[in-house]
Structures are given as structure tokens and as C-alpha cells.
A and B are shown apart, each in its own frame.
Chain A
Amino acid sequence: MTDKMHVKLNVNGEDREFLAEPRELLIYALREHLNITGPHVGCDTSHCGACTVTIDGKSVKSCTMFVAQANGAEITTIEGIGKPDALHVLQESFREHHGLQCGFCTPGMITRATKLLEENPNPTEEDVRFGMSGNICRCTGYQNIVKSILSAASELNSAKEAAQ
């Protein structure tokens, strides 16, 4: 055991402070200290993307970072995307197009997809497949995930156009 450090994070718009060992991985800090259980652990090697969160505007696999490295960061998890009575377009779209089955990869998928559509609001199917290739799904075969993201992109763009 190592000495604990004081950690400050802004998670989903809320300032959170707690004591943690610096060696703790961010995913465990989120899940164990803050009870943010949307991001999951699916591998130990940063391949599966089930733990994907957004840190200071970038998609990050939270199993690949120590909590000490995240100190002071702004973090968005699936819990900060949409609200029960006002789901994010991507959340609606995943449901509409059957873009999930067991639901284990879904928080990471949707969190990554929100960033992907910020990075590239008009993706082709190829862009989506490449942009999502850090997130593994064992159930869907991806076809409906790709469909969900493309459909959400077009919906977001229509909404943007309407607003202009």
C-alpha cells in the first residue's frame, strides 16, 4: 500500500474530492470512490474501450490512466450524457436502431461516439468504423452501432441547421 493523496476531479459538472492511492487506476477511482459505475472494466490492456470517458475534451480509456494523472481534470462519463427525461440523441439512436444487446460496452460506446461526432460531425460509414475501432462489442457485430451513430449524426446536423 502507498500513501493516499488528495484527489480533486470535476466529474459530470460536479467537483469531487477524495483520498486515493496514486497508483489506483482512474476507472477504479470512478467506480469505487465515486460510485460512477457506468464505465466498465472489460480487459486489462486498454483494448476493449468499455471504460471510455472524456477527459478535458478527449476520449480516454480510464483503465489506462492513474487517478494521480487525472488530478484536476474535467471528466465526462455516460452518467453526464443526457438525462433520464431528456436522453442524448445518441442514446435514443442506439435504442432506436438496436445498437446494443448486453449493454456492457454501451456506456463506453456512446461516450466515445459523442466525441467522435464532435471531432467529425459528418462522418462516412468508414469514418465511424475507424473512429469506433477502440471500442469492442461482443454482441452486436457493430452493424447497428454504426447505423445508430450515422443516424444520430444526421439528426444532430438537421437540428443544427434548423437552429441556424
Chain B
Amino acid sequence: MNDLTPDSKERSTNLKGLGCSRKRVEDVRFVQGKGNYVDDIKLPGMLHGDFVRSPYAHARVISINKEAALALPGVVAVLTAEDLAPLGLHWMPTLAGDKQMVLADGKVLFQGQEVAYVVANDRYIAADAVELVEVEYEELPVLTDPFEALNSDVVLREDLEGQTEGAHGPRKHHNHIFTWEQGEEEATNQVLDSAEVVVTESMYYHRTHPCPLETCGAVASMDAVTGKLTLYGTFQAPHAIRTVVSLISGIEEHNIRVISPDIGGGFGNKVGAYSGYVCSVVASIVTGKPVKWVEDRIENLMTTAFARDYWMTGKIAATKEGKITGLHCQVTADHGGFDACADPTKFPAGFMNICTGSYDIPTAYLAVDGVYTNKAPGGVSYRCSFRVTEAVYFIERMIEVLAIELDMDAAELRRINFIKKEQFPYQSALGWEYDSGDYHRAWDKAMEAVGYEGLRKEQAERVEAFKRGETRKLMGIGLTHFTEIVGAGPVKNCDILGLGMFDSCEIRIHPTGSAIARLGTISQGQGHATTFAQILASEIGLPADSITIEEGDTDTAPYGLGTYGSRSTPVAGAATAMAGRKIRAKAQMIAAYLLEVHDDDVEFDVDRFAVKGAPERFKTMKEIAFAAYNQAIPGLEPGLEAVSYYDPPNMTYPFGAYVCVMDIDVDTGVTEIRRFYALDDCGTRINPMIIEGQVHGGLTEALAVALGQEIAYDEQGNVKTGTLMDFFLPTAWEVPNYETDHTVTPSPHHPIGAKGVGESPHVGGVPCFSNAVHDAFRAFGLRHTNMPHDHWRIWRTANELGLHG
């Protein structure tokens, strides 16, 4: 007879499964400085690579003289496009269906573009040699404005000249990349023409950069004896990188091992393939030695993967009572010199078509034009799922502008337009099926938590006091209700370079009842080693502390598309649960055999299988694990392993209600965030502590983007914000404390109901901070002003509104 203590609740707690704020297993290494990041990797005989970069934004490369550089002791090689051309590696495919120069092939298209790659014995010699490479340029006219580019005779991409068909359909002009349309243009125009109220607003979502604290880098090591290439690097998608490297180098995929070690933050910066990776591989092949390349911060900000740069014009139609009847959105997207976005193939503007937001808008139309300019390529999803940040900013600003036009309260306007709980699954006018939501509940909870009516009263009093000259500070109440679309994605419509965006998990249970699970994703701070073990603990009844999670080594992990767009939990998390269920199914058969009953007569209970109706007769998962390795069970293979490749049936749609209360000094433009309340609904919550940490971090990145962070160019295409002296990263001093809250609306199609959360605070945070700034000046006639709302721009706004007397 088995002992039935501890009870199932205590046994469940001991597993540290779903819902447990389990301490992170990663931290034991990290707090001791024992992380292993790419720049920590040292291989015997390793060389260092460094780039000669273009000082010009648009120029012809007349000549490159390597002699002086090669004469410097310690310099091993200097590679140019001419050297790469015989291998076909002077250009590489981008994830967006375009191609990109690895090294300048006759011309340069943006400042900082890679012109030559120097390989030397150490990084100092490499940097010295970079200075000795003489490059002669002939300057060409520079286009930094996408509207000007579309009207200019200057041809940026001469390699595409005459090509009227691009990767995403017809090209209208030699600097045009694609037009992407969604929804019904004619029907939307009819709604706009006949609407009681129409407001139009143009807004620019400025160019910024994900700027993880660790820059991008790689170490390539070609073993000349075995013909096997090992490539370590800052890869958010190691498996896809392996495939890309194989496709462009011709090395068979089984001879390439890609390893993502610890990654010091990604935020979208580390999804794409960069020249540094390719050149390091070539240099290792050429020299027969391992080659390391790690970009510095200036190179990171100037050249690898910017985000946004979207010029958006919206028209919103509504009744006089505020019911929205139609939405029109026209975007001009600045993609820089090459189209190097990292969106799913069929979505050249990402999921911008989520721009109807949380609202029941019956008719809508979206058109996006991608344009080449003399700026760095990218357009990646900086802490968001494929242009969702842009979409949410757009609709949340349009709602505010409509509220002004209607002279309505913006919270009430949102409330009367929310998609209702009973409308889910909801088919949006721009083509998505929102899986689940309860927006009214979240909104009402948020309004109550912040005391919304009281805040409005206080604000009105402040405006009066300001007018009486008793204060110089205005008060803004920023509102946002966002709906995200994360977890790309269903293979039927989501692929990158033809690779379906499924993800995977492989589990091996050891005889003594511990386990290892390997996934196709890679953590960059999200805590996968902690949370995926929790999913498994609840699924297979072994303690999370006995489960190792391993990611990032393509020789050992199953194929997956990696970590970005909040896809890890929705896709790989689902694969983990499904693989766990396969383990459990076999465990059930083993348990039934051991208990000498039929398979259907045992049931799973937290950490064991027990005979139905006789809970004292059971076998724990630990016992079952051992039995899998020592019993000859008729009809069953030995061992206990499973693998799942999960193709999600739909995206998941996390949402949230945010409120920001801000004081603004009209005379200095200085903003002070008095309060920030963030309610997130990410479905089932795996680890509340980690969710809250993600929310704090995402909000801080949102604060940065909304209030000061930008990649700015001058007219000659010079980057004006290429160091941390100019590029705003908030410190502890500039950041408030955040209040977090939640509701739980599980995803109906995800195995454990989870939706993904890492990016929500950024997606919702940016419009919330921006709306707070706008709201402070609403009483004085401000309708819209572009981000970033740094102090001088706010001062200028106040000045233009005549608030400086």
C-alpha cells in the first residue's frame, strides 16, 4: 500500500510548474560573471576581424588599396568584394527576399556600410590595419527622405535597374520596393465619403534601434580536416542561420554547426544575417584558423538592424456618437539601402494589418509602400511582433485624435468601440482571426485601479490653475488599449525564406527521473531554462528542478525558427507541452503494465499515474521513468523520449490596458512620470515573476523610444546618434516604478492557453507615454506631434501653442 501523503496540492507545489514564481536557474551563472557570451569564446589560434566602413552614405567605390594594411605585422588578410566574388559571396540574400552586399560591390548605399574586412592576430592590430586601407570614393547624391526617393532620378539600387517586379510584387519606381495592400479600398473610401465624422492625421514613427547591451558578433571555425564549420554567434534564430549559411556558402547543412551561446539581449537586433558573420566564415576558410568578429557600439547603431521609420497617414470615420465605421491607413516605409526586414515572407510590412487594434471596425484598408533610401537596412521588430508596434501606435493615436474631434473622453471612446467578449473569435476587417479577449473587463479594471475620474478632475483643476498662473506644470493622462498578434506562425501563411515558422521540442527522460529538453528557440534573457521546465513539470509530473533546458546548438536541438516576435511561448512552448503529452501517453502504458490494469484504468495525478478509484495504487513518474529502462514491456520500445514539431493553428492575441500619469514642465519640457499602471492579459501565466520583469523592461524600452531615443540622419546621410552619448538609453535615474496587474483570458487553441508577453509592454507602452504627452496639451489645442518627445521638442510644442507668454 502506498502512502498518500503529501497530498496532491503539496505535490503540485513541489513540482514548481505553471504559475510558480520560480527563481531563475540561469542566474546562478550570471550573478557570478560566468555567462558565456560570444566575445568570451576563445579558440586556439583565433584571429580577429574588423571592417573598413564607408564614411559616405552614397558613393561609388573607385579603388581599394590594401598594400599598407597587408604590410602591417600581424595582419593576415584583407578581403574585399573582389575576393568574395569568385565564391559568390560578395552578396547575400536578406530575410525579406532582397539581396544585400556583404562587402561594397562598386558602390556604397549607407554610411557605415562594409567595404573591406581585415583579419589580424588581435583586435588592436585589426583596428590599426583598418586605418591603413585606402579607399577612393566618388560621392553620389544622397537620398534620406523616402518621399524624395520616390520622385528622384537618382538610382540607388543599380543592380535592380529595369526590374519592375520585386520579391513582393510590382515596383513602381527604381527606388520603390513593394506595395502591400490589405482590406477593401473602395468600400473603405465609400464609408469615409459618407461618414458623419472623418478625421485625418499624419504621423511619423521615427527610426530607432533595439540596441541590446551586447552588440552582434560571431566566431567562425572551419576545421580543414573534417570539413566541418562551427559558427558561434549572437543569433536569435540559430537554425535559420545554419540554413542561410549553407545556402549561400554551398557547405552542406550537416557540416555546419551553429551555436548561440548566452546572448546579451536581442530585441530583434540579432535575427538577421550580417556581413560580419559571412566574412568571418570566409576568413576562417581562407586562413584555416578560427576568426572572431564583434562589432562595437558605433557599428551596432549605424549598421545592424534599425527599427521603424514609418510615415503613416490615417483616416478614421465615425458616427457623431463615436462609433467607428471605417479606417484607412497609408504608409510609406523607409527600408534603407537594402530590404533587410525580418518579416514572414508573405508579410512585407509585417503584421501592420493588426492596425484596427482592439476595436470593432467593420471596414478598413491598409497600403504600405516600401522605399529604398541611403540609410542603413533593417526595419526589424524591436521588441515587437513584426510592425505591431507601428500598428498599435497608429490606431491608439488615431483614437485620441478622433476623441478630440468628437470632444469625447478618450477612455469612453475606446469602451464603446471595443470588440465585445462574445464576438471572439473575431474576424478583423484586415484579415486576422483574433482568438480571444475580454477588453471591457481589462479596461474597467484599469480605470478603477487608477481612479480615472479623479485623475480627470485633478487634470481639469490643473489646467485652470495653469491658466490662472499658479503653476507651470501640466498633467497628462496617457491611455492605451493594445491588441498584439504574436506567435508566428501557422506554416500555411508564415515562413521565412521558405522555412515554415513552426517550432520544436525534444524531451529525453533519464532512468532516474530527471530530464533534458531541447528546443528550437534561444533565450536572450527571457528565462527559457526556467519557464520551459515549468511547462514540462506540469505536463509530465517531474520537478522543474530536475529538468534541464537546452537551446541554441543546431547539432543537438531540433529545428526551430528561433526567438523573436514573442513566439517562443506560443510556438515552442506549445511544442514543449505537446512533447510532454507524448511522454505522458507512453508513461500511462508503462504505469498500467506495472499496475497490471488496462491503460484506460489509470489516470494522471500531478506526478503519478493511479488506478482509477484506487488512488493508493499508483506509480510515480520517477518510478515509471526507471521502468522504461529496465522492464521488457510487451509492445513497447524501451526508453522514454518524445519530440514535437508544433505548427500553431493561429496566432495568439495578448492584450492590455495601460495608463500613464505624467507631469510636464512647460518651461523646460521636462517630463515626470508620476504613475504608470500596466494591466497585461497574456493568457495562462507560466511564471508571474518573469512576466513582471518582462513588463518592467518592455515599458522602459517604450519610455526610451517615446521620450528620446532615435537614429537621426543629417541631409548627407551622416548618422547623428551613433554612440550612447547621443542615443538615449534610460538609466535607473530616469525610470519610474511601474504598477503591474493582470487578467487571464487563455488562448483557446494553445495547449496550455498561453499567449506570450515579452513584447506587450513595449507595444502598449510607446503609445501610452506618447498619449500622455499629447493629453497634457489637449486643452491647449494640440492634436498630434511626432515622437520622440524629448525635452526640447516638448518645449517647442509648448512654445508653438503660445504657452510661453
Contact = CB atoms under 8 A, between A and B. Distances in A.
Interface in B92-123: 122-123
Contacts of A42: 213-215, 264, 297
Interface in B196-244: 211-215
Contact of A101 (B122, B526, B725): B526
A113 to B, nearest CB: 11
Interface in A119-164: 128-130, 132-146
B32 A78 contact: yes
- The residue among A96, A143, A146 with the most chain B CB atoms within 10 A of its own CB is A143
A106 to B, nearest CB: 5
A6 to B, nearest CB: 18
A130 to B, nearest CB: 6
B214 A129 contact: no
B264 A40 contact: yes
B5 interface: no
Contacts of A44: 296-298, 723
Chain B residues touching A, range: 35 or more
Interface in A75-106: 77-79, 82, 84, 87, 91-92, 94-96, 98, 100-106
A38 B33 CA distance: 4
- The residue among A21, A38, A146 with the most chain B CB atoms within 10 A of its own CB is A38
A43 interface: yes
B265 A104 contact: yes
A41 B39 contact: yes
A102 B525 contact: yes
B74 interface: yes
Nearest to A146: B732
A98 B733 CA distance: 19
Contacts of A135: 731-732
Nearest to A126: B733
Contacts of A96: 23
Interface string B578-591: 00000000000000
Contacts of A48: 213, 297, 724, 729
Nearest to B527: A101
A77 B33 contact: yes
Contact of A138 (B27, B33, B265): B265
Nearest to A32: B122
Contacts of B24: 95, 98
Nearest to A92: B31
B739 to A, nearest CB: 10
A135 B724 CA distance: 12
A79 B33 contact: yes
B597 interface: no
B267 interface: yes
B74 to A, nearest CB: 7
Given A44-B723, A47-B725, A141 B697 contact: yes
Interface in B272-291: none
A141 B267 contact: no
Contacts of A105: 213
B26 interface: yes
Chain A residues touching B, range: 35 or more
A39 to B, nearest CB: 7
A103 B297 contact: no
Contacts of A23: 124
A133 B734 CA distance: 9
A146 B693 CA distance: 13
A71 interface: no
B661 interface: no
Contact of B264 (A84, A103, A145): A103
Contacts of A107: 33
B69 to A, nearest CB: 13
Contacts of A28: 123-124
A69 to B, nearest CB: 17
Interface string B526-542: 11000000000000000
Contacts of B40: 31, 37
Interface string B394-410: 00000000000000000
Nearest to A23: B124
B697 A101 contact: yes
Given A42-B213, A91-B31, A136 B700 contact: no
B49 to A, nearest CB: 16
A133 B729 CA distance: 11
Contacts of A142: 696, 700, 731-732, 735
B524 to A, nearest CB: 6
Nearest to B729: A136
A50 interface: yes
Contact of A95 (B27, B42, B693, B725): B27
Contacts of B27: 94-95, 100, 103
B690 interface: yes
Contacts of A38: 32-34
B787 interface: no
Contacts of B29: 103
Nearest to B734: A133
Interface in B34-49: 34-35, 37, 39-40, 42
B213 A137 contact: yes
Interface string A25-39: 000100110010111
Contacts of A139: 213, 265, 525, 693, 697
B637 to A, nearest CB: 40
B723 A45 contact: yes
B31 A102 contact: no
A110 interface: yes
A104 B697 contact: no
Nearest to B35: A103
B732 A104 contact: no
A152 B73 CA distance: 51
B732 A100 contact: no
A61 to B, nearest CB: 12
A132 B427 CA distance: 48
B699 interface: yes
A42 B565 CA distance: 24
A25 to B, nearest CB: 9
A141 B212 contact: no
Nearest to B733: A133
A87 B122 CA distance: 35
Given A42-B213, A136-B731, A143-B738, A87 B124 contact: no
B484 interface: no
B728 to A, nearest CB: 11
Contact of A103 (B26, B124, B724): B26
B16 to A, nearest CB: 15
Contacts of A106: 30-31, 33, 35
Contacts of B263: 102
B72 to A, nearest CB: 8
Given A42-B213, A138-B701, A100 B30 contact: yes
Contacts of B731: 132-136, 142
Contacts of B733: 129-130, 133
23 contacts: A1-B74, A40-B264, A42-B215, A43-B297, A44-B298, A45-B725, A48-B297, A48-B729, A95-B23, A98-B24, A98-B692, A101-B693, A102-B263, A103-B31, A104-B264, A104-B265, A105-B213, A128-B732, A133-B731, A133-B733, A136-B731, A142-B696, A144-B693
Given A100-B27, A103-B262, A104-B37, 9 more contacts: A1-B125, A40-B39, A42-B264, A82-B32, A104-B35, A136-B731, A138-B267, A141-B698, A145-B732
Interface of A: 1, 21, 23-24, 28, 31-32, 35, 37-45, 47-48, 50, 77-79, 82, 84, 87, 91-92, 94-96, 98, 100-107, 110, 128-130, 132-146
